[in-house]
Structure 1
């Protein structure tokens, strides 16, 4: 059994929306599937649908709707006319690099005398700084145009003004309460800015400035627009959708050496490029320079004018990206240990885990801590801040990632007095502070989380667009879904729920077996499914088990072959996983090997032994690991701590009644290990008398009774032995059957002789206590020694009964159930 990581919510259109989807399908000649997805995305008319699918540059907003755009254009034109020296001041992330690149193309087109400056992430940090402004002044710069930065640089812009340098700010970050006194502030998020779309990236604002300067949208630069917008996780709605779509088309036929080289090292076929290729192939390499070296390397790639220099830059970025992955892995391991220590300390103090994860370490590279924070969000679903500490100065620089309902920018604003600098959005932010403030900072962030977040906010949710079967997961359906591209934030790839699929095959793949590869069966088709980072689930999956999977349909191309492939985001298996070790000759030896293999997580395991003697033997077999394990017997398991146990080990033959009680009490149970031996065969005689079940049938009782009538009376002391020889049955079986007859008064003992009454009353076998006890034992053994499939089904039934009971209790208590 595997529980889903998130709460699944399958979208239901309802009758009215189904009719609307049918209308759109008919009017626009769209596949029904696409029409339904459009309605789910809020499309209410054929006109809206047409614009969503086909809108062009005529639907772009007027750049002069951006506040101060007129001032920015006028000042740059003045610089052109007077041959002034201008500096582009950018940022070191992929959006900042893209913005700097686009502005470089613009200033080249305008014939400006210019250069660009991006601060070193580790040495200088984010945003404008006085030293950089001094260097610009020394070179005779009279105008600084910022891209993807500047909206918070109040003091720095005031300093630039004092040196006679004008500053035009183009930015998209959240404006602070006090704005800098720049000559122009171009940012759609300003309260008094009438621009209708607030979702522009930094490169988007730069593009709008270029549009105003050139008096046309520079479609030829939309490939740069697409890179920055997708990398910065901006919504692919409104004009972002239009321009990113143009950008993807530009990339398919690009003449820019930098993009061709970048695609080459990332293994991207530009003729089939998608937003996903940009997000996971291009953007990480562009970001790598700013994280580990200097972002200028990325700008040099994107503005390269020949293939040789571009390819050299691309290979350098690829090497940095691989190094970045190693750095991230090292920090992740240290951060995991630090978080475990914090949780243990909270537990020992009788307190809950911190509501916000705040981790800091000396030497942690501030350029990659945002990636680490994203991983912690995925694992723990809590707002996370990861900071690198400068051991000499004590200054911390970090990045934060958040969950729905917790606004990072608002939280950092509440902590303003503790911070040297901060900026960002609801979901991502950066900050710097002294290490002496860390404890108070963490405390305040946790207090805000406890105030702002409701119980339901702590549960990650997955909205599912459609439920389908394997038969529907085809290339044809994939091609229909492609009509909704480009996919990204605000226009996510349709999430599908594959229902009741059979796991035909499973294996791991990739470095250290981190990834999962499944072959799914259902009906007459097979479908490959891949789960990145899900390799750890392989051991918990059983071939033949039924699973439900949530994910996306993708195209897998290999050696000229194209086929649909399912990309797994989440999965659940309702069946309890049975690890059947009943064939082992020595259950205790198998138990010892299992513990030594470290396949069992002690914190999640409950071991129940057949008796106190089995329990003592189990403790001895577990060795040093025994102190970490909960090992109980069927007499005392109710006193054991079973909360949160996901693995149950049955050490020795269990009591079925007690086993059912244990399973129903372990509401999170996923796996059961059966460590008890199969009974030795009773041979031909035993099977003849019991039908192979351990319980004689009615026909056997009838045969014995007829034999007694024929040969009786019998000496009581010899009855079972003589009858066993006559019938070729085991003595024990005959003795049991005779005792049943005695209890039912169908035979009687007189003067040490077993005789039959003259007129016995008609009785049912089930009236005999001995018969009922033996029948119950036979039924128990039938389950305990059933096939693995049958035993697994019985265990799953008990688990489902437990879930139902737990669900009812929670509903009565008013608890939200996931």
Structure 2
């Protein structure tokens, strides 16, 4: 069957990963992996010499000297000096999970060395990044060192304002930089245009990863100065749960050092030492050992909800909570904010789809705006529109004084670079981001000019032809290979996320023995094959889709199914289940 030229029942073309067979065979032999798992490793560009670090990532092997980053020495010396002299340090973060975790990590470290640093997380109405309001607030407190986390690289005017208020300023960030940088004490950002390419994995870091490297550098400088002669040094590893959470939720590639951060951070999180994360996990009924899925889809959205539809500082306050009662109250508030966020998101998404599907779209982008759409959900809606149409999506809320927007991209278009180019052209008043996501602001009169600019930019990058969604298939297995032992070998590829997605497999030539609808439109199946054996499967929220209808009305015909294989433990017994994403008739 010609899979790559046939449309699936889900409307996709299946594209199978390519790899060198000799490399896969060598990886399988050296590491005792099934051929299908070794093929996935090889297809992901992991050469034989890198397999050990990929399967068993360790920070001591993957983390370079923090001082390799430009301005890190300046930042470490200035922060260490402030700690020694008992200066007043202040922190400005961002209102997403990366902002909450990076500001919390810095606050907790500074607290551990005797420096109490207030944190300002802006509300969305205040706008992204440092503001004069925050600077004035900290100036009134007597702060003379201001540190921004997950923001600040392009905040020239506000940081100059802080300097004029007598503050030294340090930026710890990971967003796209311009050719010029703020004239301040230090800008630590792996994406500085003058940064070395010696350690390419550093360009993948979330802001919380940059902050962790900074904390390591400051800690080293304090040790060098004899600061810990009469007091215990902090255990930096205990904060890797925050590093893992921010890294996964900011959707940066889980490659290189990020894999080590998340792998180790999940182990730390499973110890439930952070009472805020413990309370949030309890509120979400998360009792098992956390995985990257739980970070990205269970804990992360709740922390994000404070910045989206509630109080932006709630997430950071939860992560820094010091007693169980306070943590439980904050977790309860975040859970309530998350429920409200879901309602608002559904309303805005429906309106956006109606606009897009009722109006001809001249460019290969989904570009939509509405009056007074809640700013807190436009990023999520942009992500859902990108998935629905397979196109870069721009979603904007038109407010009284300005338009605020969020964008999500597809492979082949650097959305952060697009936004920076539009800003330099004068179409946007604010903007920043990275390859796959960006935020921006503009005047309402520039909406159509920005649509043309973004559309033509995307057209040059992606071409004019209609994009047919593709489903990447990582490997092919028979039903008899879908065992708990095979699932265990697949789990060596964890953590899964951006840059290292959960492997999508094709089960070839299976038959539906039994199928029915359960829950909220889920299609439950039992699969079989001519060679014998059976396997449980589930297609979530698929009852009304073409895939779901075909599974329910199968008439005994064979199918090729695409999906993921997951372990399913119940009453102490471990089995496997296939989660169906798409199907083709055999």
Shorter-chain TM-score above 0.5: yes
Deviation for aligned residue 1:458: 2.0
Q: Which residue is equivalent to 1:212?
A: 217
Match of 2:335 among 291, 300, 318: 318
Paired with 2:51 and 2:585, the residues of 1 have a C-alpha distance of: 38
Q: Which residue is equivalent to 2:344?
A: 327
| 2:126 counterpart SS class | coil
Match of 2:13 among 7, 11, 16: 7
Deviation for aligned residue 1:456: 6.5
The answer (yes or no) to whether the contact 2:102–2:208 under 8 Å persists in 1 is yes
CA distances 1:690-723 after superposition (whole Å, capped 9, x unpaired): xxxxxxxxxxxxxxxxxxxxxxxxxxxxxxxxxx
Paired with 1:363 and 1:387, the residues of 2 have a C-alpha distance of: 9
CA distances 1:22-65 after superposition (whole Å, capped 9, x unpaired): 333333444444333322232333x4222222242321111000
Paired with 2:89 and 2:250, the residues of 1 have a C-alpha distance of: 26
Match of 2:286 among 251, 259, 268: 268
Q: How do 1:459-538 and structure 2 match up within 5 A?
A: 459-511=468-520, 513=521, 515-523=522-530, 524-537=532-545, 538=548
Q: How do 1:660-809 and structure 2 match up within 5 A?
A: none
Paired with 1:156 and 1:201, the residues of 2 have a C-alpha distance of: 23
Q: How do 1:332-347 and structure 2 match up within 5 A?
A: 332-343=349-360
* TM-score, structure 1 as length reference: 0.65
CA distances 1:418-466 after superposition (whole Å, capped 9, x unpaired): 2111111121111111222212221222222223322578233333221
Matched, 1:65 2:71: no
Q: Which residue is equivalent to 1:549?
A: 561
Deviation for aligned residue 1:406: 2.1
Q: Which residue is equivalent to 1:409?
A: 416
- In structure 1, list runs of 5 or more residues that go unmatched: 344-351, 575-818
The answer (yes or no) to whether the contact 2:254–2:497 under 8 Å persists in 1 is yes
The answer (yes or no) to whether the contact 2:36–2:475 under 8 Å persists in 1 is no
Deviation for aligned residue 1:273: 1.7
Q: Which residue is equivalent to 2:376?
A: 367
- In structure 2, list runs of 5 or more residues that go unmatched: 1-6, 224-234
The answer (yes or no) to whether the contact 2:369–2:396 under 8 Å persists in 1 is yes
Greater CA drift, 178-187 or 501-510: 501-510
Deviation for aligned residue 1:353: 4.5
Matched, 1:229 2:231: no
CA distances 1:757-780 after superposition (whole Å, capped 9, x unpaired): xxxxxxxxxxxxxxxxxxxxxxxx
Q: Which residue is equivalent to 1:804?
A: none
Q: Which residue is equivalent to 2:444?
A: 435
Q: Which residue is equivalent to 2:467?
A: 458
Match of 2:585 among 565, 570, 573: 573
Aligned length: 556
Q: Which residue is equivalent to 1:85?
A: 88
Match of 1:241 among 259, 267, 283: 259
Paired with 2:357 and 2:57, the residues of 1 have a C-alpha distance of: 51
Q: Which residue is equivalent to 1:777?
A: none
Q: How do 1:157-236 and structure 2 match up within 5 A?
A: 157-194=159-196, 196=199, 197-215=202-220, 218-236=236-254
Matched, 1:277 2:282: no
| 1:549 counterpart SS class | strand
Indicate the RMSD between aligned Cα atoms, in angstroms.
2.0
Q: Could you say which structure has the greater relative contact order, defined with CA pairs below 8 angstroms and 6 or more residues apart?
A: 2
| 1:415 counterpart SS class | helix
| 2:454 counterpart SS class | helix
The answer (yes or no) to whether the contact 1:355–1:449 under 8 Å persists in 2 is yes
Q: Which residue is equivalent to 2:229?
A: none
CA distances 1:284-326 after superposition (whole Å, capped 9, x unpaired): 1111111011221111211122222222221221121111111
The answer (yes or no) to whether the contact 2:34–2:486 under 8 Å persists in 1 is no
Q: Which residue is equivalent to 1:445?
A: 454
| 2:118 counterpart SS class | strand
Deviation for aligned residue 1:120: 0.5
